[in-house]
Structure 1
Amino acid sequence: MDRAYLCIDLKCFYASVECVDRGRDPFEHRLVVADPSRGRKTICLAISPAMKELGVRNRCRVFEIPDGIDYEMARPRMRRYMEVSADIYARYLRYFSPEDIHVYSVDEVFIDVTPYLALYGKTPRELAVELVDMVRRETGICATAGIGTNLFLAKVALDVTAKHAPDNIGELDEERYKCLIWPHRPITDIWGIGPGIARRLAQMGAHDMGGVALLSEQALYDEFGVNAELLIDHAWGVEPCTMAQIHAYRPKAHSMGSGQVLMRDYSFEEARVVLREMVDNLALELVDKGLVCGHIALFVGYAHERGPAGEKGAAPETFTGEHGTRVVGRRGEGANASRKLAEATSSRAALTAAFLALYAEIVDPNRAVRRVNIAVGELVPEEYVELTLFSDPAADTAEKSLARAEMAVKRRFGKNALLRGTSYRPAATGRERNEQVGGHHE
């Protein structure tokens, strides 16, 4: 039996939440979600549908909004958006079991509605209409939906065909996919195909999914390796993955990480302060979860070079899409490396020493830094750690006890209740980030 999937997206979610909280209609009120304290170059995280009607592009920067448009700017409130998202998810649970729902993002879910069609006596489209109407009526948020015979087709129906449907609902099966999506351009509108993959496909002569379907499978495997299987399936509208497989998936390896984009150019020494803070937090998280790591990884992204008069150097190749403008490819724009540790650990001192040594080894001290990402891998429960001749169990136990006490204080009194002196240095970012959710104010 053909299965039926819905992919439901909350339209202009952040901006719609802000409009509803103000008692305004998102389709009439002009509003952008952006932090005014970050200046006119900051990215608008969302714009209301009323702004889109005026031709303003989603994820634009504030200075790109045309002069003469009156609008309200709302500071991002990530915790509020998470609360509304959870509330809407709870409303979906009135209709479906959680085993048939996959939360894809804060504003998007996949639902396998196959077993519910007979239960409710509705077609997939009728059920989608009911859900979209329910969300709009009960929360004031506008939702759009894609319907497909597999998860991929539901996502493409949402991203491509729903935008042109009067009821904001798109529907695809494999035959309609070939008719409507094979000739669709740009190919980057298709889920899973970013500007890098699109560029490589164009070099092979494929500029749309129909072109990909005509390419030799062996040529695709030669170019993309095992990832060619995904491209080949999607070129024909095929997706074998089911909802049950998504919920049953367990990764073979586990890792943890964190990263941040700095608000200005940081010097080599300033960025090292930020790195110390990040390692401190990651070590605390390892202890809190009862884990140790045997591998570390570091990426440091450099700022764009500027000429002697302050002008930017050669402009990098950029790509403009639904989610803003970004640089295509970042080769040469950063330094990255990973190292295996001598022994698995969650020690703050050991991890700090390892990351700082790696930082000193790979980062150019003469270049400004704008991005820092760290990760730890080969995670195992701390009770499985094998001791060596150089291990000091007593010192390790004392350090973990101190870390757990620190976590207890932070949980009770807030993340900024207990800080290391590093966080009070001018270049530190920890205190401000502790008051944020997802890099934005709560």
Structure 2
Amino acid sequence: MDNHQYPRHDVLCLDMRSFYASVECIKMGLDPSEALLAVVGDPERQGSIILASTPALKKKHGVSNVLRFFELPEDPEIIIVKARMQDYLDVSLEITKLIHQYAPREAIHVYSVDELWVTVDGMKSLYGSPRQIAELFQKRIMDQFGMKCAIGIGDNKFLAKVVMDIHAKKQADGIAVCRYEDVERLLWPVPVEEIWGIGRRMMNRLNNMGIIRLGDLATHPLRFLKKRFGIMGEQLYWHAKGIDLSPVCGDFTGSSQKSYGHGITLLEDYGEQDIYPCLLDLCEEVCRRARDSSHIGRTVHIGIGYTKETGGGFSRSVSLSSPTNLTMDVYKAAVSLFKRHYDRDRCIRRVYVSLTNLERGGVLQLDFFGQKDRQFRLSRTMDDIRRRHGATALLRASSYERGGITLERSRKVGGHYK
């Protein structure tokens, strides 16, 4: 395959190894590579998820991040730590600032709290080759934060990310390189489920087509992939050949907003009466975000998931007569959908609300008596108070009911306690 027509960059993908666990070890003065430490979302709940574990704990007991707290082996040497998301966000920000000392802000794309891409085009005369720059970043992160970092190097973001996931984490020095010429040798033998962007559901669909490894995907006729998966099939095909035309520098947040959504997995089973305060809190957050961005939406969508014992749920939407970003408008539509489709014999464990079919400008259709205008001005005043004094500075009475979720969520960052 002739790759000369495709852009070539020097892109590094950095991944902080066992990030949450490493941060906790450093806070306690422990060596992240030797300590047996597990970070748990909420140690007071036996069913809480293990968010991270140190390499030593993984090696000794095979602990993975999908286990529950009660599944940890009984070993007195294991240290259990409650997750503190604000600490991890603070360290992540400091790591980004460190990289910014070497690369301009527009060359850095933060992917998650423990991963980022950085494009180092044109930096050879200052800091050396891409590998030398990767080694420099590893040393600086180790010296300043005391944690290890795996780095993938590629011609684009996809190659850098995939070679980091597949090969860099297994290398002694934690660095791996994949250029266009290396794709067939390094990536094609890899099972498709190990490739970034391919989940279990997609894996099953590909396997049913006889596509087991990435090489099978790269050599599969493009027209069949497009017919089966649409635009996603075309993207999978080109990624399998190592081609990724997404921007490596610039504004990575400039894509237009398609919807505003907010959801929660409940800590206990909810019945019908409990769910209404929860729905109202979710609608409040969705509409607040829409108002902040001067968007109004015409379609309200809700998703309900029942408990694991019964399974199932439903996902429904309704279009409004006029677009809105007022909480009570969206809430009334959500309640109507819920009452119409809810199976009253089942308990609820997951709830999701979104506002879609957006329009820009935030201009509401006013009613004859001016109620909409007053509601909008009141909503903006409430938003302003919360922005200045915190999310719990002004709450609806329903938020204090059993089903309300705003008070509990205000104590958390990213779904876990600060």
Report the TM-score, using the length of structure 1 for normalisation: 0.87
Give the superposed CA RMSD.
Answer: 2.1
Q: Tell me which of 390, 398, 414 is aligned to 2:390.
A: 414
Q: Tell me which of 102, 105, 110 is aligned to 2:117.
A: 110
Q: Tell me which of 74, 93, 96 is aligned to 2:100.
A: 93
Query: Are 1:369 and 2:348 counterparts?
Result: yes
Corresponding residue number in structure 1 for 2:170:
164
Task: Give the CA deviation at 1:438.
Answer: 1.6
CA distance in 2, matches of 1:74, 1:88: 22
Q: Tell me which of 316, 336, 340 is aligned to 2:315.
A: 336
Per-residue CA shift, 1:209-250, capped at 9, x if unaligned? Answer: 112123222222222122111111122122222314763852
Task: Give the CA deviation at 1:282.
Answer: 2.6
Query: Are 1:137 and 2:143 counterparts?
Result: yes
Corresponding residue number in structure 2 for 1:284:
288
Letter in 2 for 1:67: E
Query: Are 1:33 and 2:9 counterparts?
Result: no
Corresponding residue number in structure 2 for 1:58:
65
Letter in 2 for 1:74: V
Letter in 1 for 2:208: Q
Q: 1:268, 1:366 within 8 Å by CA — same for their partners in 2? A: no
Q: Which 10-residue stretch deviates more, 92-101 or 345-354? A: 345-354
Letter in 1 for 2:118: I
CA distance in 2, matches of 1:80, 1:275: 30
SS at match of 2:13: strand
Corresponding residue number in structure 1 for 2:324:
345
Q: Which 10-residue stretch deviates more, 54-63 or 223-232? A: 54-63
SS at match of 1:126: helix
Q: Which 10-residue stretch deviates more, 227-236 or 62-71? A: 62-71
Q: Which 10-residue stretch deviates more, 69-78 or 130-139? A: 69-78
CA distance in 2, matches of 1:410, 1:2: 46
Letter in 1 for 2:376: K
Q: 2:258, 2:356 within 8 Å by CA — same for their partners in 1? A: yes
Q: 1:287, 1:400 within 8 Å by CA — same for their partners in 2? A: no
Task: Give the CA deviation at 1:151.
Answer: 1.2
Per-residue CA shift, 1:391-420, capped at 9, x if unaligned? Answer: 147322322332233334434443323222
SS at match of 2:212: coil
Task: Give the CA deviation at 1:190.
Answer: 0.5
Query: Are 1:82 and 2:89 counterparts?
Result: yes
Q: How does 1:145-160 map to 2 (within 5 A)?
A: 145-160=151-166
Letter in 2 for 1:262: L
Q: Tell me which of 198, 202, 206 is aligned to 1:197.
A: 202
Letter in 2 for 1:195: R
SS at match of 1:81: helix
SS at match of 2:167: helix
Q: Tell me which of 401, 412, 417 is aligned to 1:425.
A: 401
SS at match of 1:355: helix
Query: Are 1:22 and 2:28 counterparts?
Result: yes
Query: Are 1:254 and 2:258 counterparts?
Result: yes
- Structure 1 unaligned segments of length 5 or more: list them: 307-331
CA distance in 1, matches of 2:36, 2:238: 41
CA distance in 2, matches of 1:181, 1:129: 23
Task: Give the CA deviation at 1:353.
Answer: 0.9
Letter in 2 for 1:196: R
CA distance in 1, matches of 2:251, 2:289: 26
Q: 1:296 to 1:140 in 2, by over 3 A?
A: same
Report the TM-score, using the length of structure 2 for normalisation: 0.92
Letter in 1 for 2:45: G
CA distance in 2, matches of 1:291, 1:393: 23
Q: 1:430 to 1:385 in 2, by over 3 A?
A: closer
Q: Tell me which of 416, 419, 434 is aligned to 2:410.
A: 434
Task: Give the CA deviation at 1:104.
Answer: 0.8
Corresponding residue number in structure 1 for 2:180:
174
Task: Give the CA deviation at 1:110.
Answer: 0.8
Q: 1:393 to 1:244 in 2, by over 3 A?
A: farther
Corresponding residue number in structure 1 for 2:4:
none
Corresponding residue number in structure 2 for 1:231:
236
Q: Which 10-residue stretch deviates more, 126-135 or 362-371? A: 362-371
Q: 1:288 to 1:147 in 2, by over 3 A?
A: closer
Corresponding residue number in structure 2 for 1:268:
272
Corresponding residue number in structure 1 for 2:301:
297
Q: 1:418 to 1:181 in 2, by over 3 A?
A: same
Aligned length: 411
Q: 1:46, 1:59 within 8 Å by CA — same for their partners in 2? A: no
Corresponding residue number in structure 2 for 1:312:
none
Q: 1:287 to 1:217 in 2, by over 3 A?
A: closer
Q: Tell me which of 220, 231, 247 is aligned to 1:215.
A: 220
Q: 2:108, 2:249 within 8 Å by CA — same for their partners in 1? A: no
Q: 2:326, 2:379 within 8 Å by CA — same for their partners in 1? A: no
Task: Give the CA deviation at 1:441.
Answer: 0.9
CA distance in 1, matches of 2:251, 2:185: 29
Q: 1:421 to 1:370 in 2, by over 3 A?
A: same
Q: 1:268, 1:367 within 8 Å by CA — same for their partners in 2? A: no
Task: Give the CA deviation at 1:343.
Answer: 0.9
Corresponding residue number in structure 1 for 2:376:
400
Q: 1:393 to 1:117 in 2, by over 3 A?
A: farther
- Structure 2 unaligned segments of length 5 or more: list them: 1-6
Letter in 2 for 1:437: V
